[in-house]
Each structure stands twice: as structure tokens, then as C-alpha cells.
Structure 1
Amino acid sequence: MDFDLSEEQQLLKDSVEGFLADTYDFESRKKIAALPGGWSPEVWAKFAELGLLGLPFAEEDGGFGGGAVETMLLAESFGKYLVLEPYLATVVLGGGVLKRAGSAEQKAEHIAAIAEGSRTFALATTERHSRYDLFDVTTTAKKDGGSWVLDGEKAVVVNGGTADRIIVSARTAGARRDRGGIGLFMVPGDASGLSRRSSPTQDGTHAAEVSLSGVRVEAADVLGDPEGGLPVLEAVADEAIAALCAEAVGAMSELTDITVDYLKQRKQFGINIGQFQALQHRAAEMFVALEQARSMAMFAAMTAATEDATERRALASAAKVQIGRSAKFIGQQGIQLHGGIGMTMEYKAGHYFKRLTMIDTLFGDADHHLSEVACYGQLVSAA
């Protein structure tokens, strides 16, 4: 299998890396994190100008026809520079739902707006009791004439505080944990009956608690089958996992590099601590964990489009397990090898560890996905 990038993919990677290297250093990131909502509209507009926001969408929908590999390249660069802008929430999650469930009219309106940078999205699926189960939904959507009325609460909605549109999963039929009877509804950020309380998370991004009380959604804003939204959500979650794996690789790579550089500069007992063999061994183990994670991130990107949903979920889970294990190891080693400075807010090592920890929990941590892989193995052996 050829793992080399095409000329177009290499140009994409170089242009993104060049832009971020010039504009997104650690001090600039601190200033962006302090802005309302925790991200920069100016940087977002530049992403649109570079064509990044329309990259994974089909050309007929106003995009550039990219796929999971192109998203992987972007996400890895974003992880390296700890980018705060809501690319995952808007393009991968919101855009992913639109790609799979949107009508021609919905795609024409909203994907074009995403690509030009004029509209941001959030995906509200998690509830306080649901943990990582996308089908555990108590938020309700009841038919009222030609529209639907939504009631319920969603938790930890990434970019939920500033999104122009929030895609909400709500139960239209069945019991709380039934896989059927789940619909997807697009709610404007200023809708009557919608309230949201946003706050920064540990890694500097923002998430919101979203409440819906009698929120009316017209038929034109229902995405796909009102009772068949779960397969769409699962496909989008698997694609998001592939993007998160790549982002984690970018963050792990940079944390490994700055740790090795620190070992070469920090002196103890009159010599650089990088000369101590025990520390060299630990740095080498960080590199091994990084390369294992890199392989699985590439694997996740290449298998994100697998048609068999059960197999695709198992492959995504396998990648997430390795990413979680590598991220924990590299994060802990990076902090310990830096010593006290690694834990300060003024130095970036701790910020990489925080982001890696958040990535591990998004859409299921390593332990959760290990159990998913085990369940898939039981299914295969029983077949």
C-alpha cells in the first residue's frame, strides 16, 4: 500500500503548516483563547480563504472533493499548533451530518455557508446520563402540525455557545435506549426556547450546556428520516474519531519534540540531562508510542469510509484505543521529563497534555473502545 502523499496533498499540508507557523505560535494562541467564544473569526476567515472549510465536501455541494486523508492532514497540523477554531464541530460534525442526511436544498444552503466561513455548527448528542452511547436519548421531538417541538437538555456541546446552528438528536419514538426513533433537527442559535451556557474546558476550547424548552423546528430543518438518525450519527462519530486520532498525533509529535529539545538544553550536575541513559530510554519509548499512534491514525483515515457499519465502528475503536494509550504515555512522560515547568500555564507542554486528555474522552475513551473491540471479536468468532 502506498502511504506517500500526492502532490496536491503535499501542497495542502505545506500551505496549512506555513500559515499556522506564521500566525499561530503559542503566544498568539493565548490571545485567541481569551477572545469571546475562545476562537478567532479572523483565523476562521483565513481558513475559508485557503479552502479548508470546504475541503471534505463534494464539489456539487460547494466543496473541494476531499476525503478522510485530507482531513487527517489538516487535523494533524491543528494538533501540532493546538488550534482552537471549531473545525471539528462545524466541518467534521455538523458538515458530516449535512453530507449524509441533508436534502439537496439543505446542502446547497448550509454547506456553501460553511465553506465560505459565514456559518458555524455544533452537534448536540450527549446527555448527562448517556456517557458515550449515542442512542441513549431522552430529549424529545413531538410532531405538531407541519413542525416539531423539542424539549430536553444536552451536555458538553463543543462550540455550542457560539454556533449559528445546532444539530440536535431527539427521540421521536421508542424508549430511552432504543436504537430506532431518533431524529436530527437543525436549530438556529437564536431560536425561541433555546438557552445555552458556555464555558471553557480544560484544554482551552469551549463547550456548552444546551436547554430546549418548546423549541419549534420547521420541516425544512429536519435532517433525513425523523426516526432513522442513529446510523448517520454513528458514521459521523467514526469520521470524527479519525480526525481526532490525527489531531492527537500532531499534538504528541510536538510534545515529543519539545521534550527532547528540553533534555538537550536542561543542565543538571554540570551536564545536559539528555546525556543520562535512563532519560534517553524514556524519550525513545515516547517515539515508539508516537509511531504506533501515527500508524493507527492513518489506518483510521483509510477505513473511515468502510461501508459495513459494524466493521467500521470496530476499526475506529481499535484506532481510538491505541491513540488513547499513546497519548496518556507521551503526555505523562513529557510532563515528568520537563519537571515543574511542564505543569505551568506559561509553558506549552502542559497544554498539549490537556488537549490529549480531552481527545481521549471525546466519543469514548480508550477503555470504552477496548470493550467495543472485544464485543466485535465475539461477534466475529460466533459467526
Structure 2
Amino acid sequence: MQAIPLCQQFTVDVRLAAGIEGRYALHLFVLSNDGAIVRFRSAEPIAAGETLTEFVSASSGDPLALRATPPVNIVDKAVVIAVPAEVIVDWRLVLSSSEIKDAAYANGVTFDIIRSIAEGVGPTEDWAAAAIDLRTIASDTDVTKRKTGTGDVSVREYTVNGFDITPYLPADTNSSLFKVLAQAEWLAIHSQKDGVPYKQHDWPGGSDPANDSDNLATGIDCSRSIWFAFTRAGLPYNRSDRYLATADMVTSKTWMKDEFETCEAPYRTGDVLVYRDDKRGVGHTVMVIDPEQRIAWGSHGWDGNGKLLKIAPDTGVEYQLIKVKKDWERWDSANMTLRSCWRYKRFSDEWTENPASRAGSTQAKTCENMCSVPQ
């Protein structure tokens, strides 16, 4: 199982150093990894030697509360800025709005202004600032804490049994990502119940879902499972919804360009990664589920648990974890290297236009009923 926190709440205590004259208003800015900036303020100014134990939302006056959503184990930054109480600052100049929340803004001008203040380059010598990092991690029951035995571990990918896709689902059930993840989950569950094996084979009547039952009984391979998730979710895969093998997914004229755009790290839920071993002429492809914990979905012909734990390996359509090498750069072996990342264009468009279409927004919506979240 995996456990990801629905909410995080924390207290920041700030003490104004002795020897400072006058009273200061304190402002806490949380710089989110997605580019958003949330501001909290002190209810009353404080003087030298005094300690502030509670910030409140600058907009609502509620106590500080932030929600944590997937992906976890990434760094946000909290910056406290002390300004003379008599100085009025229009903080709107450095605040981002919900309409522009995107990772691209994490290095934008708004971040740069506050970071420069935290580093001592403030608008005036009377200002002061300090910064700390915030990191939300999964609990000890998350999928990365799996039994690995002793000795040299040479196997790399591990089937994650009982994986729960719920924390990664978008709140908008009509979003393209929700539809694809729901279809991927259906196929994973179907594989567990009916024993769909990993197998490369022709797919008679592939354009007609009425033939899926017979075809799945024979098996499904990695690239076919990606094709299946998108087409059976009712989304166009390419100009004729044609199945593409991994070799077809990495060529300069690949039909993947019809509906997908190239991407690079940091990856997002729903990204399709294609690996190739050109020396042996083989490949593998997976869909990213959790970029930080390195969990992927797809049809796999290899499960490291079998060799390591002396059990029957679980292959076919599964969620798998990269256990040994802590990156996405290869699969199964050192020679199976990452060649392409494809991001569905509709995912990108909806990410910008509709925050409820993003992975994990279902969890964020649930959290709104559990703790006070400033808007």
C-alpha cells in the first residue's frame, strides 16, 4: 500500500533579534514548487525580543494551513520578511494568481523578487528576511519501503501490489487525464482478475473494442497497453488511431507527433516514456504515475520481486516501481535507455486552463473539507 498525506499543517515561530528599533510587521510567503506564492501575515507588529507564534492568511485572516498533494518529496520554500510597521507594501506586485500556477513560474520574476529579499537584497536596509525549506514526504507505509532482502540487488523494477490510483486522479472526471488513468486502472484490475499476460501479438479487429476480450485473453504488450489506455478512453491516439511499436515511437517522423508533444523532466503523471536497446533491437514504454516515487504503469514482461523474494513474478499490466537506480533514465537494464518522452497535448492544454484536470486534484478537493485552506 501507499499512504500520501491529505493535509499538512505547521507552525512557524519567528523571533525578532534584540537591538532592532521600532515595531515590525512580519509576512510569510510560501513559494510553491508549481510557481504559486501564498502570503500569510502577522496579526500584530512585534518588537525586538518578541516572538510571533502564529501567522494568519493575508486574505481571510484564518490560521496558517496548507494542503499537501502529490507529488511528494519535493521542496517548497517559506520566506519570512520583516518590514517596519509604518511601511505600506503593495504585495500584489509579487503575488501570483491561481490562473497562472504552473511549474514554469517557479523561476519567474515573482520568485526572484522574494528570493532576493530573503538573501538580504531588500528594497531598503530596514528590511530583514529569512528562509527555510519545506518538504512533504510519504509515510513509512509508502510503496518505496518494500522488503529488498540482503546482498547485492541486481534486479531493478518491482511490481507494486494493491496500488491505489485514487490520490493521483484529477477532480474533473471529464478531463482527458482522468479518462486515461481510469482506463489504465481498469486494465490493471482486469489483468489481476483474468490473468492477462505480457505478450506481443497481432490484435485482430484492433479498432473495434468488441474484440478486446479475445485479444486480452491472449495478452498485451507494453506499447499496445499505452495505445489501449488512450483509444479505449475515447481519445485520439494519432491520425488513424494506429498502434505504434516502441521503434515507431522514437523515429523522426513518428505519428506520436499527431497528438503528443515532446517533454522532459520534471515529468508529470500521464507522460509516456519510451526506452530502447538499439543493440538488441528491443524497447519498452511506460506511463508515468508518480514522478517523484518513480512509479509507472504499463504491461511489463519483467518483475524483480520474483528473483529477489523467490516468488512467482507478477507480469502483465501492473504498476511498477524503479527501486535501485533512482531516476527514469533506463529500464530493466543499463542498455535499455530513455529515448523519448511524450506528453499528450490535451493534458498540457487542460493543465493550463483547468486546475481540476491535474493529477492529484481529487485529493486536494477532499482536503478542502478537512482543513482551512487559504484562497
Question: Is the pair's TM-score, using the shorter chain for normalization, greater than 0.5?
Answer: no
Range into which the TM-score falls when normalised by the shorter chain: under 0.3
Q: TM-score, length-normalised on structure 1?
A: 0.25
More helix by share: 1
1 or 2 for the larger relative contact order (CA 8 Å, sep ≥6)?
A: 2
More strand by share: 2
Q: TM-score, length-normalised on structure 2?
A: 0.26
